[in-house]
Structure 1
């Protein structure tokens, strides 16, 4: 599992990104469970994620951040990254970010792809 904490901050919200290889939907669920075993990730406001599974196609979860999973999924598709989950974590800072939150998701996924050399 690769984790990049403190990718960015905006108006009190903090963002991190995590990811790693997975095998099937069960692998995605196991990855998310492992991530949430870390107290700060379990307490995060949103853990949005996406993966393209060779045996199940695209899957995503918004975790209350409507539309964020689709943004991650599109980036994974462009990068050609299969059997790999990417999770963008947000700790809400008390101020609504509007459309800027999607730009922040893109920044996080790009940071992950660059750091992991999986398609950045």
Structure 2
């Protein structure tokens, strides 16, 4: 099992507490009817992307220390690949597509966060 590192340190030098990250994930996952205004979805998109940018290299380092044939390595790498693919997408043209994208970003963040908090076994 891996040792959790400090996933709360942002590249800009400020930190997001585990509680704040959990609240961000929860809000992203709640982007369902009635849908939030597009301005809020844009802000969630920005914040979720920033968190993914912080966690991705941390989780990648953990994956690099795993044995490549191990099922845990495959699971971790699949999580990293899904996050990378999701980061290439944008909000789309409408409110519904923006909400779906925010939901997808939040799920990726939740999955990456589970590697940094030791929640995975």
Q: How high is the TM-score relative to the length of structure 1? A: 0.31
By relative contact order (CA 8 Å, sep 6+), the higher-ranking structure is 2
Indicate the structure (1 or 2) with the bigger Cα radius of gyration.
2
Higher share of residues assigned strand: 1
Higher share of residues assigned helix: 2
